Amino acid sequence: MSTQGGTKAVLAALAANLGIAVTKFVAFLLTQSSSMLAESIHSVADSGNQGLLLLGQRKSASPPDEEHPFGYGRARYIAAFLVAIVLFSVGGLFSVYEGVEKLRHPHELESGLIAVVILVIAVGLESYSLSTAVRESSKTRGDRSWWQFIREARAPELPIVLLEDLAAELGLIFALLGVGLTLLLDDPIWDGAGTLAIGILLLVVAVLVATEAYGMLVGEAATPQAVATIRGTLAAAPGVTKVIHLRTLHLGPDELLVAAKIGIAPTATMREVAATIDGAEEALRASLTVPMRIFLEPDIPRDALPRPAASGTEATSAPA
């Protein structure tokens, strides 16, 4: 997947979150609402996360060197894992702490109407960021469900921005409910409940992001569709009798390692073997748009080897 769509979504989210964070902090200072404070920290954490994603993209573009012959593509996965840590610690744990404290020691809101107006504005800004992420993701999602897209995507930026923006929208709704019920029922405990709900939401999203990032860091194969395309392309290449073994690994979101053992006719000459490998590599590069590092090992399948002729011994009698 090209990084262009992911970068556009990240930049849109960064711009929205910076503006929202400033607005929420002002609202918190005016209202002393714990929900507003939790949402302010949430937006600051999200802004830092987008900065991490952009930094990971920049580092991943560094050319290979002697110590990193396969390049720095996994820097984007490391950035995604750091995003999960920031969401969990700065966003989720802080909000849960604030929510519990507010439930234990509730205090009255000041200028609650200002908080409601600010939250409504924030919902509009966050909707812009979410719509951008949805639009860019739709270009590569195909006919997969949104959950399948998040689970199967090998580029971390769009799934993370989608999850963050969705959590931000839900968090704003929780904050609106908390502040609104506090004003309506004149009971500040609802503000604490809204803060606690925001914290739990962020913890859940952080676990989802960490799970996906962990799988990418450990090393994930190409998608089943890509593996099927690679196998079919190799099997159809001139001179290839069968695909004996196939292994794939994402070196980064935009680079794939392909290692395969391919069957060659036992009568093929060295020149024909070399031509077969070159043709198979060319066919692979034409079948997928993602850059690939291809390693093909020629072999003669066991079922293609001539079977040894059956030998038997006849009993003979020694002359008298």
At residue 114, the pLDDT reads 79
pLDDT at 294: 95
pLDDT at 34 over 50: yes
Q: Quick one: pLDDT band at residue 178, thresholds 50, 70, 90?
A: confident
pLDDT of residue 270: 93
> How far apart are alpha carbons 185 and 54 in whole angstroms?
44
Q: What is the mean pLDDT of the chain?
A: 83
> What's the pLDDT score for residue 318?
42
> pLDDT band for position 163 (50/70/90)?
confident
Quick one: average pLDDT of 242-250? 93
User: Which pLDDT band holds residue 5 (cuts at 50, 70, 90)?
Assistant: low
Q: What is the pTM for the complete model shown?
A: 0.70
Over range 122-151, report the average pLDDT: 83
* CA-closest candidate to residue 6, choices 157, 130, 128, 142: 157
Residue 313 pLDDT > 60: no
| pLDDT(320) > 50 | no
Rounded average pLDDT over 2-20: 73
Residue 243, pLDDT score: 94
pLDDT of residue 308: 59
Q: Which pLDDT score is estimated for 263?
A: 94
- Which pLDDT does position 60 carry in this prediction? 83
Q: Regarding predicted confidence, which is higher, 190 or 87?
A: 190
More confident residue, 34 or 229: 229
DSSP letters of the chain?
--HHHHHHHHHHHHHHHHHHHHHHHHHHHHH--HHHHHHHHHHHHHHHHHHHHHHHHHHHTSPP-SS-TT-STTHHHHHHHHHHHHIIIIIIIHHHHHHHHHHHS----SSHHHHHHHHHHHHHHHHHHHHHHHHHHHHHHTTS-HHHHHHH-SSSHHHHHHHHHHHHHHHHHHHHHHHHHHHHHT-THHHHHHHHHHHHHHHHHHHHHHHHHHHHHH--PPPHHHHHHHHHHHHHSTTEEEEEEEEEEEEETTEEEEEEEEEE-TT--HHHHHHHHHHHHHHHHHH-SS-EEEEEEEE--GGGSPPPPP------PPP-
In this prediction, residue 4 carries a pLDDT of 52
Task: Name the range with the highest mean pLDDT among 51-55, 184-188, 204-208, 276-280.
Answer: 276-280
Structural domains of the chain, with CATH? 3-218 (1.20.1510), 224-299 (3.30.70.1350)
- Choice among 227-236, 288-297, 305-314 with the minimum mean pLDDT: 305-314
Residues 40-49: pLDDT tens digits? 887 888 788 8
Q: Which of 3-7, 17-21, 178-182, 213-217 has the highest mean pLDDT?
A: 178-182
